[in-house]
Chains A and B, each alone.
Chain A
Amino acid sequence: MLDWLTAPWSEPVLQRAFAEVALIGLVGGLLGCWLVLYELSYSAESLAHALFPGLVAAALLGLPLLIGGAAGILVAALGVALAGRAPEIGRDTAVAVVVTTLFGAGALLALAPASPPGLGALLFGDVLGVSDADLALAGGLAALLFAALALLHGRLLAVGFDRGTARALGVSPLAVDAALLVLLALAIIVAVQGLGNLLVVAVLIGPAATARLVAQRMRSMMAVSAAVAVVAGSAGLYLSYYAGTAAGASIAAVLVAMFLVARAAYHAV
């Protein structure tokens, strides 16, 4: 049994993968609580897809993914704002059109025959291909995100609790919303390497949705969510190691399974 558990750890590739998965789990698990409570789950999915061409372009040009992600978000925001002004389609439709157009463009670029191989990893993730430099960058971004979440905690709580009176408490809902979206973009950039653009939302929403079923306070919800995300990430890696399944998809599958178990337990109590 012990051998079974320790075997994957003997390989440096998997050591880095476990570290990456733990980082992604902490980032996704903590930030995800706010996304779920702010009802931004679908926005998270849209944003992840809309900044995809930015990531691909950065990878093609040899630039840091961070720059590509930031540019991708600007293009997406501009696109949504412009399409939303077209009177013949509603805002809802405008967002869907812009997001699918951008995601399609990114996929076209990533999977073009002329593109170097490996860009497909941005779609489905390549947690086993993580380098020490990738880990260092993800760690730096994650530290930034943890600090921002700690600083913003009270304000996020006040706006989420009652948007209408937040201003009277000296908190700007607009600034808090904008900060949350910036943090979401950061989290996507941290997680995209490991989980891929298509599965990143699983680690943002799955653990938080699970934690919400069992936790009565924000702090306990965040603790449970982060723990669920890290455990599911590690379990997914074991599954991938022994069953030979894709790592990103295995992690997403474990996350969904944990949510379903928690939900069944919640309704059974």
Chain B
Amino acid sequence: MSAVLARAEDLAAGYNGALALSGVTFAVREGERLGVLGPNGGGKTTLFRVLLGELAPQAGRLDLAVPLATVAQTDRSRLDFPVSALDVALMGSLSRLPWWRRPGRAERRRARGALELVGLRDEADATFGELSGGQRQRVLIARALVQDAGLLLLDEPFTGLDTPSAERLEALLAGLAADGRGVLVATHDVDQTRRWERVLCVNRRQVAFGAPDDVLTREVLERTYGGDLVELPSGHEALAPPHHCA
């Protein structure tokens, strides 16, 4: 069986003494895409912050076997900043260089390689803020690759993307997993997670974790989203309405 990249056992975390998320037990292995489903305020962002070390867990255990990188929603970054796609990808080398070293030729080559991998070779010198939402998302993924991360955390990366961009991103995530990386994606698209290897449902505590076929039952989704479920006539069981991470 492939190696475990990250494992959480009965993890709990919160703010100002109040728990925002508890009872979280899961593992991500090499080559797995894990979808994190949950309502607004359900604890997805809290979980990400614990994984990134920004928030200390109040209980439980977290073991990380590989470096993590985060791919934030691109509207969190300054779109008016005078940086190129290559500049942004190069930021990924900061964590690997001692503080007195500036990124050199090797780092630039690596950053260009990462941009090529995400299909942006020709956009390397374009201004980041002038790229489309999907392209910006892929630049941030390239930055995570330059960081040499074994596990990528993506916070609702499909929000606001048109269909071709979303399909391209979906294919890129599949490629990253096929290369042996782990990909952890907070999303609101239940149908999408059916195509992935693992699903984690949270609503202030863990509702379920496992393979999509086992986890994505009507009962689990109702416990995850409460009354927010919408029936679809297309034969799919249920789809949660769009949410933004709290």
Interface set of A (CB-CB < 8 Å, partner B): 37, 150-151, 153-155, 157-158, 160-162, 164-165, 167-171, 212, 215-218, 220-221
Q: A154-B94, A162-B77 are in contact. Are A168 and B69 (CB under 8 A)?
A: yes
Inter-chain contact B82/A165, CB cutoff 8 Å: no
Closest to A222 in B: B82
Q: How far is the CA of A169 from the CA of B94 in the complex (A)?
A: 6
- Tell me if A169 and B81 are in contact (CB < 8 A): no
8 contacts between A and B (CB under 8 A): A37-B81, A150-B102, A151-B100, A164-B72, A165-B72, A168-B52, A170-B95, A220-B82
Chain B residues within CB distance 8 Å of chain A: 52-54, 68-70, 72, 76-78, 81-84, 87-88, 90-96, 99-100, 102-103, 127, 143, 147
Q: Which residue in chain B gives the minimum CB-CB distance to A211? A: B82
Binding site secondary structure of chain A: helix
Q: How far is the CA of A154 from the CA of B68 in the complex (A)?
A: 20
A164 to B155 alpha-carbon distance, docked (Å): 13
By a CB distance below 8 angstroms, the chain A residues around B53 are 167
Most B CB contacts (10 A, CB to CB) among A37, A151, A169 go to: A169
Q: Of B82, B84, B102, which is within 8 A of A153 by CB? A: B102
Nearest-Cβ distance from residue A222 to partner chain B, whole angstroms: 10
A168-B127 contact, Cβ under 8 Å, with A154-B90, A162-B76: no
Complex CA–CA separation, A216 to B143 (angstroms) = 20
Q: Which residues of A contact B100 (CB under 8 A)?
A: 151
Q: Contact: B82 with A164, CB < 8 Å?
A: no
Checking A154, A169, A171, A215 against B82 with a beta-carbon cut-off of 8 angstroms, the contacting residue is A215
- Are B78 and A217 in contact, with the CB atoms below 8 A? no
In the complex, chain B residues whose CB is within 8 Å of the CB of A217: 82-84, 87, 127
Are A168 and B94 within 8 A (Cβ)? no
| Complex-state Cα separation, A165 to B48, whole angstroms | 12
Q: 4 extra interchain contacts, Cβ-Cβ under 8 A, other than A37-B82, A161-B81?
A: A165-B77, A167-B53, A170-B96, A217-B82
